[in-house]
Amino acid sequence: SCSSAARGDDARPGDEPPAALAPYERLLPAPVSARAEGPGYAFGPGTVIRTGLTDDEEVRRVGELLAEQLRGPSGLPLPVVDGVEGDGIRLRIDGEAEGAGEEGYRLESGPGGVTLTARTPAGLFHAGQTLRQLLPVSGPGTVPGGTVTDAPRFAYRGAMVDVARHFFTVEQVKRYVDQLAQYKVNTLHLHLTDDQGWRLAIDSWPRLAEYGGASEVGGGPGGHWTKDEYRDLVAYASERYVDVVPEIDMPGHVNAAQAAYAELNCDGTARERYTGIKVGFSSLCVGKERTYEFIDQVLGELAELTPGKYLHIGGDEAHSTPAADYAAFMDRAQAVVAKHGKTVVAWHQLATARPAPGAVLQYWGHDRTAAAEKAAVTAAAKAGSPVILSPADRLYLDMKYDKETKPGLAWAGYVPVRRAYDWDPGTYLPGLPESAVLGVEAPLWTETIATRGDWELMAFPRVLGLAELGWSPPTTHDWPSYARRLSAQGPRLDAQDVTFYPAPDVPWG
């Protein structure tokens, strides 16, 4: 792949990476505890995956998926069978599994096999991802003897993609889901609409996707997803224990909708399509009743497509909406979300209006964000709004790594790999206790990103830092150790044909 070509010129075949890590030391995200002990389990042609009782269909599905993920690298048949007795890989649900919580697990490896135990199928899925990392990148291999006990630090570990600025296929998004889920990321936030394009078919307003979807930054053809394609993506993510949080951005970032429907404009005139990269120029018509019929129907259809509990309503950069109008609009938009049985997520600007009880705020400020703006977020958190941290100068995957990075923006500064990882979400915002932090999310805005290669180059390896910050206990936080573990992921990413930036601050082998 491009990454190995870019870095490997003086490495000879057979060279070990500097200080090669033993399997239990290279896990990423770092687990709560991992201990190597005694002889391990050798995978071979006879290895089976045992998924307990026949009637537990979900565990069976987790087993099938794990088998699929291990077959390619190992070259083994790995049949999935019922029952738990006997050698091999055993998946066990245990309602009492200590310390496991909703997503945690225990992995025990010895000569007779590897036992994965969790309270939930999600926990078993995560255990399976750990097992993948304990095996070699290719070939059957041996899982060394030992035990891993693990559970996440934060409930929400997310990544966002903006499919509005540039359109991407469902297939490409699924590929990202697989890449993320193997590092225990459990939420995919989809930025579905913006000035440049509307990407999801809405039955009651068909021109949103048909006309509003047929454009993108730079003047390309754009595109949109049908409801069936979208349902398929949501189901695919859900089988990998990734929840989809869909976003319809409002009251700003709506030019595509206003180009499709004249009635969404205060002056009753349809807007021209927009293919540039400015922000903050469009606004829904706050004083018009039709606006609220529109958001009710759109969010109603979206809620029906969404098994998860969150709907994201944007609320950022509404520079063309006066503050009082913004607050009045967001009151009504939040009520619409509640009416459809969902919980609001919005960008942190909602803190300056009136967040509904329990509305989640997504903070996207940076080190130079005004103290008053940060204080509004912590005040809302004290009043009951959980916070998702997406600091732009840490987790924005569209920020350039350094001045050499071709795609990307730099308004929040450069974000090298170390900067993306080396901070603490639990103490990041002054006055925001860790208990108010729902989790972390890394957004990928796509004004400058139009291809799978650029997408992956910007996301990898920084999104692994997000995965680690979201999952691993703070006691494991240590840049040199993280950098070594990250370097150990290089060959895995290469084997999966992931384009990643061979960042100079990481000791790649």
Any idea which residues carry the catalytic annotation?
317
Our CB check for ligand TNX shows the closer of 26 and 400 to be 400
Helix 121-134 with 57-74: angle, nearest 10 deg: 10
Residues that contact ligand TNX, how many (by CB under 6 A): 10
Residue 317 beta carbon to ligand TNX: minimum distance, rounded to whole angstroms: 5
Residue 453 beta carbon to ligand TNX: minimum distance, rounded to whole angstroms: 19
Our CB check for ligand TNX shows the closer of 65 and 409 to be 409
Quickly list H helices, 305-429.
323-339, 371-382, 392-395, 417-421
Under the binding rule (CB under 6 A), the answer on residue 170 touching ligand TNX is no
Under the binding rule (CB under 6 A), the answer on residue 396 touching ligand TNX is yes
Our CB check for ligand TNX shows the closer of 447 and 468 to be 447
- Per DSSP, 83 falls in state B
Residue 200 beta carbon to ligand TNX: minimum distance, rounded to whole angstroms: 18
| 263: enclosing H helix or E strand | none
Write the DSSP string, 23-51. Answer: GGGS-SSPPSEEEE-S--EE--TT--EE-
Per-residue x/- track, 230-269, ligand TNX (CB under 6 A): ----------------------------------------
Q: Can the peptide bond before residue 29 be classed as cis, meaning omega within 30 degrees of 0? A: yes
* Beta carbons within 10 angstroms of residue 133's beta carbon: 18
Under the binding rule (CB under 6 A), the answer on residue 279 touching ligand TNX is yes
Residue of 445, 455, 471, 501 that binds ligand TNX (CB under 6 A):
445
Our CB check for ligand TNX shows the closer of 103 and 441 to be 441
Place of tokens 């909703």: 102
Under the binding rule (CB under 6 A), the answer on residue 409 touching ligand TNX is yes
Residue of 25, 58, 87, 317 that binds ligand TNX (CB under 6 A):
317
Residues sharing a CB contact under 8 Å with residue 418, sequence separation 6 or more, in sequence order: 479, 483, 505
| 217: enclosing H helix or E strand | none
Residue 204 beta carbon to ligand TNX: minimum distance, rounded to whole angstroms: 26
Our CB check for ligand TNX shows the closer of 105 and 363 to be 363
Our CB check for ligand TNX shows the closer of 152 and 213 to be 213
The 8 Å CB, 24+ separation contacts for 450-454 are: 450/166, 450/217, 450/218, 450/220, 452/168, 452/172, 452/175, 452/499, 453/2, 453/499, 454/406, 454/407
121 phi and psi angles, rounded to 5 deg: -60, -35
Under the binding rule (CB under 6 A), the answer on residue 455 touching ligand TNX is no
How far, in Å, CA of 377 to CA of 361, rounded?
8
Under the binding rule (CB under 6 A), the answer on residue 398 touching ligand TNX is yes
Is residue 82 within 8 A of residue 54, CB to CB? The reply is yes
Residue of 103, 216, 301, 316 that binds ligand TNX (CB under 6 A):
316
Per-residue x/- track, 349-378, ligand TNX (CB under 6 A): ---------------x--------------
Residue 413 beta carbon to ligand TNX: minimum distance, rounded to whole angstroms: 11
Q: Is 12 helix (H, G, I), strand (E, B) or coil?
A: coil
Residue 388 beta carbon to ligand TNX: minimum distance, rounded to whole angstroms: 12
Under the binding rule (CB under 6 A), the answer on residue 274 touching ligand TNX is no
How far, in Å, CA of 154 to CA of 434, rounded?
9
Summarize as ranges the residues that interact with ligand TNX (CB under 6 A). 279, 316-317, 347, 364, 396, 398, 409, 445, 447
